[in-house]
Amino acid sequence: MPNILYISSSLSGEQGHSSQMAQEFIAGRRAQGESINVIHRDLHEQALPHLDAQRFAALTTAPENRSAEQSAIAEQSDALIAEVRSADEIVIAMPLYNLGVPSTFKAWIDHIARAGETFRYTENGPQGLLHDRPVHIFAARGGQYVGTAMD
């Protein structure tokens, strides 16, 4: 049974257009008779702390040198990385806020993008350490831009 990691971050929750599109995609997979396991990470309901100096230090300190507080911070990041590693597919419901991704999504990226864990630096630039998997992004935007040149 494939594992799907479903990431949502809409302020409108399950009623957001991006969330509705992602849910329709998942429902369509199930309607085809596919047995799937969905892990839902709602970044609006379960907001992650934004990266700050304390969190950055915790994530870049060697495990054996971390304080208890740093270890707790790293454990949260490790759990998020484990979700990504266990996923056979990733579904992202992506609303557009202020012409960019929600800050909660960026916080998630900051927790999972870790040198030595999910990528490494090489002489040819960064190299990913996670196995390839399909990523489906369901992006939605609206509000005052609907029907304008910016839509």
Q: Taking the domains of the chain in order of start, what are their residue ranges?
A: 3-145
The pLDDT assigned to 143 comes to: 66
Residue 151 has pLDDT above 80, yes or no: no
- Rounded Cα distance between 109 and 92, Å, is 12
Residue 79 has pLDDT above 70, yes or no: yes
pLDDT tens column, 7-25 = 999 999 999 999 999 999 9
Q: Is residue 95 helix, strand or coil?
A: strand
Residue 74 parent element (H or E): helix 68-86
| Other Cβ atoms within 10 Å of 83 Cβ, number | 16
pLDDT category at 99 given cuts 50, 70, 90 is confident
Contact criterion met (CB below 8 Å) for 48 and 13:
no
pLDDT tens column, 42-56 = 999 999 999 999 999
Q: Which residues contact 116 (CB under 8 A, 6 or more apart)?
A: none
Q: How far is CA 100 from CA 15, 136, 139, in A?
A: 20, 18, 11
Does domain 3-145 match CATH 3.30.450.40?
Answer: no
